[in-house]
Chain A
């Protein structure tokens, strides 16, 4: 059996500290003791999300393909024990408990200001003890069916997934996290157990805990409750994804105010540290070009082409990397042209050096401020581990970043031709649409 080891990780830039525990059971644990805070937040997460639809372990001969939405379904069902609902266990400690499934992870969490050790015991116990039956699966299909309908009515959700479907031919990032009414109807208790035993292996998981807690206390509970397991050498398969887009434009209709849009730019995916470095370079480049301090933002606002909902984000993970601009506009074609022109121009001339210094300074300040939130710290440690980087890598990359790094990213990694525009507008706006664009 392996030995448990502890490492203190310190940020060279801010002096903040985390403790990383490589536990004998196979689980990696991160703890951040935060003096003066009453709240404790714990996240117990597995690197398993909606994109993990095809996989095999050392025990399997062939790759297993599962229905869309099963990771999210499993998350719902894990909240039910053989004899009770997990919420009723947390009710006795007063903790606020929840869970979420994203594209590449599933996390179970609680936050509390008292009895954190009891809540941690509940968290570690229920996630390691699945209980699924045909009856409980059938019951959940009704609840999740309603959740799917609810998200179908969210224009932001629709415009986002239409963007992903416009960018990705094969990668499962384009499927809805909760699946569809049809795909969840195929889920059985046996399939849930198979996915559970594949992905809820401690070697594929992380426990992240921050705020009002102590390393020694967390370790004592972990020693007592974690069930040691062997690494199953999990292999993931993602279909081959060509570096082309599916369609340059998608229009969808729903009751909305001004048309809602996403402009997505497909970039080459990366992994680990390279992925984080590229993410930071892309982030800084887009902040310089399009955030509220940029000349482009000011002119688009002055011309009435965007409003204060306009933002950009970097969206990346296993096998996907894209830059997404989102907002509301009555003339989305012009907004697309202006953003892509600004990128092309910056590829030729390079970014403004003064703006680069200012954005870097601002990003540094934001990162220091984030360390003041218990929940943000717990999420930061969890995400870093699941993305195979160290929690302080982001701020260290920022401190070393040069303008040339960002210019190189712009020149070599962004191709304005690989873009898709997704719009959700009300049917009335479609009727009013002119020949050369959308309703003015």
Chain B
């Protein structure tokens, strides 16, 4: 039996994607909520969502729910809060081993479904709000996550660049909210935020497993029918970021050993196949223009890579570099972009970049998460391609289209993290 995909409906406002592939050993259900990313609400949704797959009335503590998941052969219940362009995405994942691996013939999937509905629809409440004990734990987790923004310097540099590049757009805002917004929440207001999330978010549910499980859809239909759904109108998935009249620069000095530089380029090109290929050829592979020149030829950086946000039509180039080499690295990054704009790249480089992208497309389906990403991207773009069709579309991209995509880029924002006192130490 080969893999199959079906898109069904839980209700008028909730999509259900069934992905069957016999090679998998686990059943996974992902419930994805999509909301406009709004400063007044993001913290409440993030905190509420984190309370859902960690306890429930029947399992009233983190330890109690985890013990239940241990008994389901290491099943997992987790939440991921992220930013998707101008949207806030909240995904709750429940996953466990297939019944055929149960040592004592337990109905693992049946129990997993019960845990899911218990967590989502029968949460751990106290009065009109979430349990105070569990609320305090998750509020602290969220505050610590916000404070730990600085821990990963590379990620922090990119996020700082995003904040400035997307200034006055929802995408500039954190999907976790701010410390002050979290501190202003209460167990009651957070529970209200959760009810609002259930009522107003766009919802897409994914089931992935080795064989069809007819009991899943009716259970979810019944559970979600309790909610009086009034979904918000979502802003568009793809929301290009407008170009600034003058490019912006932010320099921060921190006590670090290595400086970081991030350049954000905005694009007006809507051909995402050409943009993706151009981005890979320019700076994403270990044979790209940036790797070959900034790292290998000039030895300026350990990493210097580009990444493409299709949703914001923005390309970021980021690198770690010594203070004295910042300007040289920047000049080389811009010089290599100019080279791509002028068609100064070999046919071999273009063909090899295509091979690299085909390689990654053909591996879609080897993990459950790659299936979900593929079908969710189809939803974003409004059309579903097979992997063969996607490969054909990339194959058809010409050298001129790559040059055109590169020429659509304009430098919008520069972020530099300077190492405090680097000259004193190293010069």
User: Does any Cβ of A come within 8 Å of B324's Cβ?
Assistant: no
B320, closest chain A residue (CB): A150
- Report if B110 contacts A (CB, 8 A): no
Q: Could you tell me which residues of chain B, from 132 to 154, have a CB within 8 Å of some CB in chain A?
A: 133, 136-137, 140-141, 144, 146-154
* Contact bitstring B321-353, A, C-beta under 8 A = 1, else 0: 110000000000000000000000000010010
Task: Kindly provide the distance from the CB of B309 to the nearest chain A CB, expressed in whole angstroms.
Answer: 21
**Within 8 Å of chain A (Cβ to Cβ): is B125?**
no
- If A38-B362, A96-B360, A297-B62 touch, whether A361 touches B73 (CB-CB below 8 Å) is yes
Contact flag A38-B365 (CB < 8 Å), given A144-B302, A257-B148: yes
- Which residue of A has the minimal Cβ distance to B358? A94
Cα–Cα distance between A257 and B142 once the two chains are bound (Å): 12
Contacts of A355 in B (CB 8 A): 67
Q: Are B363 and A39 in contact (CB under 8 A)?
A: yes
| Contacts A37-B366, A96-B356, A358-B70 given; does A328 touch B299 at CB 8 Å | no
Chain A residues within an 8 Å CB radius of B303: 150
Within 8 A of B (CB), among A71-129: 85, 87-88, 90-97, 111-114
**B320 to A146, Cβ gap below 8 A?**
yes
Contact A152 B258 (CB under 8 A): yes
A365 at the interface (CB under 8 A from B): yes
Contact B286 A97 (CB under 8 A): yes
Q: Is the CB of B285 within 8 A of A91?
A: yes
Query: Among B23-31, B196-204, B215-223, which stretch is in contact with chain A?
Result: B23-31
Q: Which residue of B lies closest to A364 (CB)?
A: B73
Q: Which of B161-169, B249-257, B266-274, B398-406 contacts A (4 or more CB under 8 A)?
A: B249-257
From residue B304, how far is it (CB to closest CB) to chain A in Å?
10
Question: Which residues from A are CB-within-8-Å of B254?
Answer: 255
B421 within 8 A of A: no
Interface string of A350-385 (1 = CB under 8 A from B): 000001001101111110110111100000000000
Task: Return the contact of A292 from the options B26, B62, B152 (Cβ within 8 A).
Answer: B62
CB distance from B37 to the nearest CB of A (A): 22
Q: Is A369 a contact of B26 with CB atoms below 8 Å?
A: yes
Q: Are A36 and B21 in contact (CB under 8 A)?
A: yes
Residues of A contacting B133 with CB < 8 Å? 302
B285 nearest in chain A by CB position: A91
Complex CA distance for A152 and B419, rounded to whole angstroms: 12
> How far does the Cβ of A439 sit from chain B's closest Cβ, in whole Å?
12
Q: Which of A207-263 contact B (CB under 8 A)?
A: 211, 254-258, 260
Chain A neighbourhood of B189, CB < 8 A:
none
| B63 interface residue per 8 A CB criterion | yes
Digitize B44-87: 1 where CB-to-A-CB distance is under 8 Å, 0 elsewhere.
Answer: 00000000000000000111001101111111000000000000
A294 in the interface, Cβ–Cβ < 8 Å? yes
Q: Do B66 and A291 touch across chains, with their CB atoms under 8 A apart?
A: yes
In the complex the two chains form, is A94's CB within 8 Å of B147's CB? Answer: no
Q: Is A49 interfacial (CB-CB < 8 Å)?
A: no
Q: Which residues from A are CB-within-8-Å of B149?
A: 257
Are A257 and B151 closer than 8 Å at their CB atoms? yes
Residue of A nearest to B137 (CB): A301
What residues of chain A lie closer than 8 Å to B140, measured between beta carbons? 304, 307
A170 interface residue (CB < 8 Å to B): no
In the complex the two chains form, what is the Cα distance from A255 to B148 in whole Å? 9
User: Residues of A contacting B296 with CB < 8 Å?
Assistant: 85
Q: Are B362 and A146 in contact (CB under 8 A)?
A: no
Query: Which residues from chain A contact B137 at a C-beta distance below 8 Å?
Result: 301-302, 304
Report the Cα distance A35→B23, complex, angstroms.
7
The residues of B that contact A362 with a CB separation of less than 8 Å are: 69-71, 73-74
Q: A371 and B25 in contact (CB under 8 A), knowing A91-B355, A256-B151, A297-B62?
A: yes
Residues of chain B within 8 A of A373, CB atoms compared = 367
Chain A contacts for B358, CB-based, 8 A: 94, 113-114
7 contacts between A and B (CB under 8 A): A96-B360, A114-B358, A149-B258, A301-B62, A302-B136, A358-B67, A362-B70
Q: Apart from A361-B103, A368-B25, list 4 A-B contacts with CB within 8 A.
A: A146-B302, A149-B258, A256-B148, A298-B63
Ordered nearest first, which 8 A-B pairs have the shortest CB separation? A365-B73, A257-B147, A94-B355, A36-B23, A365-B74, A142-B299, A113-B362, A257-B148
